[in-house]
Every structure is written in structure tokens, then in C-alpha cells.
Amino acid sequence: MNEKELKFLQAHFRSHYQKHLPVPPDLASREFGFGWQKKIDYRHQSFASHKEFQDFMLTEVPLYVSYSLAYYQFPDKRPVSAKGFQGADLVFDLDQTNAEHDHSAFFCRGCLECLHREALGLKDMLSKDLGFESTLVFSGQKGFHLHVRSEKVRDLGKEARKQIADYVSAEGLDMRKLLPVAGESIELKFREGIRNVPKGPQAQSRGCTKRAYEAMRKAIESEDEKALKAYGLGRKNISYIKQNKQRALENLEKGNWGAFCDSENLDRVFANVVKTVRFVQTDKAVTFDLSRIIRLPDSLHGSTGFTAKTLKEGEKFKVEDAMAFKGEEIIEVIPREDVDFTLNGEWRLRKAKFEGLPMPIALFAIAQEKALLP
């Protein structure tokens, strides 16, 4: 970024931080990293007090602020092994989605919507399954972070965190190990009342298996053909379910999926259903890398001018709500390329064609390096 644009962003960031300075819990035990040109130009910084941190932020005005998930005795020492590790928060980073949506290459709001939905699903799973209460934070640009700050997670090692990351994404899941009776050895024909049917998720199941049971029950109850098909049930199975709904539900309750699903398909169907209720794509390294530094919640993001906003329980997410800057003042910019985007209105910037934009939009275009100041 050029000097002129950097100064422009810094002036606005400074005035924002004068009023809204984000401070992480246990400030003195955290390592900080800052960036002006890159997300992290340097790290291994620490602050003994709120005042020290404030002075730094208002003098140096970094465009990116990251802090350690770990708590250290000596946060500024290096290498990391000299810092005196004292535990770490647990964080999940969602920045890529497979969910279907109209994707746009530049500033995709669809991605954000899908990721927000997935993050809420993960938040719910963390709470219901693992017993972790988490805080949902917008990353300030493309995704979301879930922070678990609790004694329960502080001492978890790397291996334990890897297992948790695998758990939430169902990675390495082998259905035969998950279910009480293996389906392999049992010769099964598609008929009702059969004995020794491999048991699938049932009313008595717990955790994610229970949710798989509920997902299937819902699909059967509402005769949701699209869902049943997505779970891998064939046409014959689906028409059986529609004609014998009550019976199918009774069998499902006992885990007898073989009553309404072809035996050779059982494993796959179980797996499909479990994956729909438990599959979140996260950047795993963030979850198990104990020396990771991550965007400080409620700090500004230098590539957007958005706040990495902490979302309150049940709060709806709208990217406009994360825009740190308001104001009607018009700023002249020179677009560096053609870009179209929606942000508090529709914007069409054309390369080298001067454009007067409201300050928050101009700031966004400049931060994205899509426009320069004249």
C-alpha cells in the first residue's frame, strides 16, 4: 500500500481507536502481532498494561492487530519455547464454505451468509456436544472465528485439540466404528421385521448420532424426498417410506434402518446423515497450533475497514453492521480496476474513472487496494 493511502486509513483508524479500543482478556499474558503492509509484519510484542497498549495503538496505528490464543509468562520472548506457555484458548476458524450459493469473486456476501450459518451450527455443536460455550466473532473480512475461553480448554494439548477439530468436521469418521453393531458380517435382505439388523442412530443415541436420528426422523415425517435422496436412499426405499411412514418411524426409533433402507447401502446412508448434522469445514491448524496469533476481536481489519465484531448471543449478522465508519462525506478515488459490489448500496467502479464515494465505501475500496486517492 502506498504512503498516501496508508496515512488515510491510519487517520481514520486512529480516530476510531480513540473511542473504541479493543482489549483482550488477560492482556498482559498475550503475545501481539501487528501489520501495516501485511497481516503480520512483526510479532512477539507484549504490553504490561492497558495504557501501554493504548499508547502503542494510537501512535503506531497498525492496520491489523493479532493476539495469541496462548497465555504466556513472558509473551515477548522468542522463540516461542522461551515464552513460558500457560495454556491457550480454543479457537475455530471458518473461512471457506462448500455450501451452494451465488459466488462472486470479489467480496462475496453469499460466502459470509453461508459461513455465518455454519458458524452458528458449530457454536451449537460445541455447546451441546462438547459442553463449550463460545463467542462468535466476525473475522473482519471473509469469515468467522469461534473463541472458547474457559478453564476446560486452557490446558488441552495439541493432540487433544486435533481430535476436537476432527470431531467437529467428522474427519476420519468410520461409520462402522461409530455404530454399536457392525453391518459387514450380517447378510441382510431388504425386508421388515428382520433380526440382527445393524443398528443405526436411534432415539436413545447421544450427541451427533442422536442428531442424525433426528435428521432422518424429520425427513421421514415430512416425507422430504429431496433430503431422503441426499442421504442416499433409492427410489424404492423412498416410496416404501411414503407408504409405511408410521412403521418406518417405529423402526427408526429402535435404530432398525434396515427396515426402510437397502442393506448394502446402510453404511453409506448412516455416514451421509451423520455428515449433514456434523460437518463444518474449519482451518484446523488454527485450532491445534498453540502458538497461533489471530485477529483481535473488535479490532479493525486493514483490508476492509470493518470491525472484527463480537456478535452477541442470537444477534443477526449483516456485514453493514460491522462497518466501523459511518458518514456521508464524499471522497474522490481513482479505481485501479473494474469492480462491482454491494455494501450499503450498489457500487460500480470503473478503472481510472474518478469516482466520488461516501467515506466508508471509499475507505473499503482503498483498503481492498481497488482504488487510490487522487
Partner 1 sequence: MYPFSREAKKYADQDVRAPDVEEALAFLRNPLAEETFYNPAKHVMLYALAKAILSCCSQSTKNKYAEQKTREYVKRMTEAENLEAAREFFPAIEKQDGKYVLPLGEYLSYGSSLVHQSVENGKVTIEQDELNALMRSAIKEKFLNAAIQDVPEEIRKAAAQLEPPSTAIQSRAKFLNLACMQYIAKGVDEGKRFYGAFGLSISAKRDGLPKEKAVSFLTEYVQRCRGTKAFTAEEAKGILDWVYSRDIGFSCSQTMDNGFEGEYCQKCPLNWKRRKS
Binding site for partner 1 (CB under 8 A): 128-132, 152, 155-156, 159-160, 163-164, 166-167, 170-174, 177-178, 180, 205-210
- Rounded least distance, CB 168 to Zn ion, Å: 22
Give the integer Cα–Cα distance in Å for 322 and 311.
10
Is 105 or 189 the residue whose CB approaches Zn ion more closely? 105
Q: With binding defined as CB under 5 A, does residue 219 bind Zn ion?
A: no
Residue 172 contact, options Zn ion, partner 1, none, Cβ 5-8 Å cut-off depending on partner type? partner 1
Residue 287 contact, options partner 1, Zn ion, none, Cβ 5-8 Å cut-off depending on partner type? none
Residue 164 contact, options Zn ion, partner 1, none, Cβ 5-8 Å cut-off depending on partner type? partner 1
Give the integer Cα–Cα distance in Å for 160 and 120.
23
CA nearest 368: which of 295, 298, 302, 307?
302
Considering only residues 22, 35, 87, 110, which one is a binding residue for Zn ion as defined by CB under 5 A?
110
Q: With binding defined as CB under 5 A, does residue 112 bind Zn ion?
A: no
State CA 171 to chain mean position distance: 16
Residue 113 contact, options Zn ion, partner 1, none, Cβ 5-8 Å cut-off depending on partner type? none
Residue whose grid cell is 476481536: 297
Over the Cα atoms of the chain, what is R_g? 25
* Length of the chain (residues): 374
CA nearest 91: which of 142, 46, 50, 143?
143
Is 157 or 327 the residue whose CB approaches partner 1 more closely? 157
Residue 173 contact, options Zn ion, partner 1, none, Cβ 5-8 Å cut-off depending on partner type? partner 1
C-alpha cell at 311: 456478535
Q: With binding defined as CB under 5 A, does residue 111 bind Zn ion?
A: yes
Sequence-distant (≥ 6) Cβ neighbours of residue 80 within 8 angstroms: 291
- Rounded least distance, CB 210 to partner 1, Å: 7
Give the integer Cα–Cα distance in Å for 314 and 307.
18
**Exposed / middle / buried, residue 283 (Cβ in 10 Å: 0-12, 13-18, 19+):** middle
Give the integer Cα–Cα distance in Å for 211 and 189.
27
Q: With binding defined as CB under 5 A, does residue 103 bind Zn ion?
A: yes
Give the integer Cα–Cα distance in Å for 255 and 200.
5
- Rounded least distance, CB 228 to partner 1, Å: 24
Residue 202 contact, options partner 1, Zn ion, none, Cβ 5-8 Å cut-off depending on partner type? none
- Rounded least distance, CB 146 to partner 1, Å: 16
The neighbour count for residue 373, using CB atoms within 10 Å, is 14
Judged by CB under 5 A, the chain residues 269 through 288 that form the site for Zn ion are none
- Rounded least distance, CB 177 to partner 1, Å: 4
Is 25 or 180 the residue whose CB approaches partner 1 more closely? 180
Q: Which residues bind Zn ion (CB under 5 A)?
A: 103, 108, 110-111
